[in-house]
Structure 1
């Protein structure tokens, strides 16, 4: 058994307008993380809004009517803290990490910045140039081009197949007024939550009840995004400045709401492709010496997860690499997963979770994401699910979904 670990107890609260918040007490932590989450990722965008969610994240940090550009960062630094944000397919979140006695002021600053962005026309034009340059730099990176091409090939009719950064032509047509409408539509009580993790100050409930979170308009929760359905597709992509060939394969895996399935997905991808002792790394690098690197990762998302395999090898070896991947998978299907290899994968998955439970930032992220999407389990609950995945269960349930014949396959070769 991988072992048990006590995770911080979660206390969930709901305000009168429907916005929710969760507290995770970590008394020994020297700092406290405030993490604001919103269902306003790129899946929320219409065709005329592609890139709006990420662009809005940029504009939020240009300030509010009470916080001129740069004032938020300076204020958080004066409190002894730091801040960051990230936009994903499903959601966006903004967090600050501060000493516990500074939580009331940090919360006031964070909510003012996120909920009341100025969206000034001059800042809008300037920051749009920053985003367009970010897109150009991404398109100029061979590795990023390859991964995005795989996602587009795998999910051609789904938001997960589109770049989060957006489309330059669409971005050039955006206006501050359109962004303001997007913000007003998405940043509503039913779409937002707050997670607080670390050393919790006295009076936290009253502080949050009297904050701008309680003033958010009611409503939200747009219809769910359609589930992804990855179909077997193949393509070859010549890429300038790519140093070696790439074989990329993608498979559909359980969605984030299926926690047991996600744990199984973590186990099977770790068993097959994480570390020198994994099946594919050992076969492709140690035995056959075909590959320069092998990575197999589970990308967990709300509308369906993806297992993504990337093998770097000389372009002339890609046929042999793909054949070896198929042979390795067939051997696992024929004889089943080795119990020792599964135990090793279980330790890796469990230790990854244990490490995440050690810092307020990662605890707040897990608690906030879970609350936003209706997952109320204890943060260490996945540890109790690991032992439920036996070699036979993996072989019958998840291994068939990784059939190379069912994969989306992209071969990237140096142009």
Structure 2
């Protein structure tokens, strides 16, 4: 096993080791009769150039199509024989692969999981067949009215940042990709320095670390490098300027049963994490749950919307605070006006102490309830460490929320949610 360099900056339960080859392993023993391995890579659609947009997601598909040691379909068959489950996901800023097994099967299955991740053949015939699958996935995503509306909102919000592009990429780009391009992309991105491997479950921490580290040594034998391809992977580091006026985009969509209204503001992301907490609370106060302000006012009292929700979407470089409603199209102007009035009210009078205390209780309880399973923990640890190289933001979240005051929430609303400058996407039927 390669010698670890312990990360002393994290003092909570999870153990973090950085191997000398660049691989990071996070491990935690949990008294649940299962073990989850979650392998996070710092590669996603936001890092791609327009010429290869969608490659990261396409590669996620191809990873499961065979290695020099595993035939196409053999990995899934051997996983299913043990009653284990596996899957993967690609986002704007990461790709991750995960497997859950019984503790006594973990040592046998981890090498299989790492083999498919790091040694895919990307055979020409399989590439062509899977391209058709990805193109169908793209087509279905555009056939989904909610997806189409979200894509349009992202395009309204971001002028140049790659968050405005769908993770799947456009069909014409996918059609032009070649197997060799994908092999070079894999060689450039799937390497130890890009990986955070998280293992949580009912095995001793030392054993979890040893299994992952030894399995990686046995399976990572890539000898060819494609450093030139890294020129295609340039991550933006500067957020866009906030809206200075109301930017309005309107569309028609015959498939909608009701109109859609999405109002959005450009807000801080993970690079300015301290600024995001007040916005998280504002999202909860305005539109999370049946006790939220907008739900009570617009749906329960005035019956102007059939659904309304608010989210503070925190991405790495820049986030998007958005309010989304389903409603009859004749109600759009009034609903938009009422929403801005709620923002003005918070900016002038702040929020009530009891509202803030309710959100604080919810935040603590959600943190507990959402981290009861090994897979929950590996998602939490893997996301934050792969994006920020620290677990402190994940583990301290309830405490930070508890420390916020009504003045903090009012200041966040004043600073970032200008009721006279925002983006708005309206889609009518």
* 2: CA distance, partners of 1:294 / 1:279: 10
Q: Which residue of 1 aligns with 2:377?
A: 363
Q: CA offsets per residue over residues 139-196 of structure 1, 9 Å max, x none?
A: 1111110110000111131110001010111111100100010111111221111000
The answer to whether the Cα contact below 8 Å between 1:8 and 1:379 also exists between their aligned partners in 2 is no
Q: Which residue of 1 aligns with 2:214?
A: 210
Q: What's the CA shift for 1:113?
A: 0.5
Q: What's the CA shift for 1:210?
A: 2.0
Q: Which residue of 1 aligns with 2:159?
A: 156
* 2: CA distance, partners of 1:260 / 1:382: 11
Length-normalised TM-score, structure 2: 0.90
Q: What's the CA shift for 1:331?
A: 1.3
1:228 is the counterpart of 2:231: no
The answer to whether the Cα contact below 8 Å between 1:42 and 1:89 also exists between their aligned partners in 2 is yes
1:14 is the counterpart of 2:18: yes
Shift in CA distance, 353/142, structure 1 to aligned 2, threshold 3 Å: same
Q: What's the CA shift for 1:260?
A: 3.6
Length-normalised TM-score, structure 1: 0.93
Q: Which residue of 1 aligns with 2:3?
A: none
Q: CA offsets per residue over residues 228-282 of structure 1, 9 Å max, x none?
A: 3253521101112111111101122331244443332221100111112111111
Q: Which residue of 1 aligns with 2:6?
A: none
Shift in CA distance, 412/25, structure 1 to aligned 2, threshold 3 Å: same
Greater displacement, 157-166 / 295-304: 295-304
Matches within 5 A, 1:88-167: 88-167=91-170
Q: Which residue of 2 aligns with 1:402?
A: 417
SS at match of 1:21: strand
* 2: CA distance, partners of 1:93 / 1:370: 13
Q: Give 5+ residue unaligned stretches, structure 1.
A: 1-6
The answer to whether the Cα contact below 8 Å between 1:266 and 1:349 also exists between their aligned partners in 2 is no
Q: Which residue of 1 aligns with 2:401?
A: 386
Shift in CA distance, 286/19, structure 1 to aligned 2, threshold 3 Å: same
Q: Give 5+ residue unaligned stretches, structure 2.
A: 1-10
Q: What's the CA shift for 1:106?
A: 1.5
The answer to whether the Cα contact below 8 Å between 1:244 and 1:312 also exists between their aligned partners in 2 is yes
Q: Which residue of 2 aligns with 1:412?
A: 427
Greater displacement, 386-395 / 84-93: 386-395
Q: Which residue of 1 aligns with 2:8?
A: none
Which of 30, 35, 46 is the matching residue for 2:33? 30
Q: What's the CA shift for 1:351?
A: 1.8
The answer to whether the Cα contact below 8 Å between 2:48 and 2:234 also exists between their aligned partners in 1 is no
Q: CA offsets per residue over residues 264-318 of structure 1, 9 Å max, x none?
A: 2221100111112111111111222211110111222111221221111100110
* 2: CA distance, partners of 1:385 / 1:19: 30
SS at match of 1:83: strand
SS at match of 2:142: helix
SS at match of 2:237: coil
* 2: CA distance, partners of 1:164 / 1:204: 32
Greater displacement, 150-159 / 212-221: 212-221
Q: Which residue of 1 aligns with 2:203?
A: 200
1:377 is the counterpart of 2:388: no
Shift in CA distance, 216/343, structure 1 to aligned 2, threshold 3 Å: farther
Q: Which residue of 2 aligns with 1:183?
A: 186
* 1: CA distance, partners of 2:89 / 2:208: 25
Greater displacement, 256-265 / 294-303: 256-265
* 1: CA distance, partners of 2:108 / 2:56: 26
